[in-house]
Amino acid sequence: MALSNLRRIACLLAGAALLAGCAATAAPPAAVGSSAPAAASQNLGVTRYAVGQRPQIPELAGTTLDGSSLNVTSLRGHVVVLNAWASYCEPCRTESPALARVAQQTAALDVRFVGIDEQDRAEPARAFAASAGATYPELVDADGALLGSLRLVPPSAVPSTLVLDRSGRVAARVIGAVDAATLDSLVRALAAEQAPSAAS
């Protein structure tokens, strides 16, 4: 019985460590007005949402690592991959080159990628993005407010990814690192969906 309890505790601690991922030393502020149940928003792995049940995200806008301005709503009509990462995040070192490859391979399908650089320093962040081969825009989230506004993602979940359909709704969520094959499959399936009409 004692051994069984120890195993259970070890599993719980391992799960907690995976969920924490590469959270910053100072946790980002919690989302204001967030009402998503904690259990529903903290499942590790891939969650897919049926067409009629896809949640809308709040407006995401800010300054990118290269000093440009970006509002994610300007990408409506495209499939959009939002990826939260940081240069100090070890799993991101494996994940980011895979994202860069998928971004290049699916650009012709009207797929757009946007990074959300979490509570990072500018120079390491730029160097990290360059080494990964990421040429897409990276929103700077110095205080964690952007990630904190996304109810479907725990504030400390880095890396994490949301895949938006052409209407800007969340079609898939990945908590933790995503591999190239999984991400490629997700975005190609969405790219094949019929584009929304002007009235929708």
| CATH number of the domain within which 117 lies | 3.40.30.10
Q: What is the pLDDT of residues 60-88, one digit of tens each?
A: 999 999 999 999 999 999 999 999 999 99
According to the model, what pLDDT value does residue 28 have? 34
Determine the structural domain holding residue 86 and report its residue range. Answer: 44-191
Sort strands 45-48 and 61-63 into parallel, antiparallel or unpaired. unpaired
Residue 11 maps to a domain? no
Is residue 179 within a helix (H) or strand (E), and if so which, with residue range? none
Residue 198 maps to a domain? no
Residue 15 maps to a domain? no
Is residue 161 within a helix (H) or strand (E), and if so which, with residue range? strand 160-164
Residue 19 maps to a domain? no
Q: What is the pLDDT of residues 1-25, one digit of tens each?
A: 444 444 444 443 344 444 444 543 3
Residue 18 maps to a domain? no
Rounded Cα distance between 159 and 152, Å, is: 13
Rounded-to-10 torsion of CA 89, 69, 133, 165: 80
Residue 155 maps to a domain? yes
Residues in the chain: 200
Rounded Cα distance between 179 and 157, Å, is: 16
Residue 34 maps to a domain? no
State the pTM of this model. Answer: 0.77
Rounded Cα distance between 41 and 43, Å, is: 6
How many domains are there within the chain?
1
Residue 99 maps to a domain? yes
Q: What is the pLDDT of residues 131-152, one digit of tens each?
A: 999 999 999 999 999 999 998 9
Tell me how far CA of residue 102 lies from CA of 43, 72, 76, 96, 159, in angstroms. 24, 19, 19, 10, 16
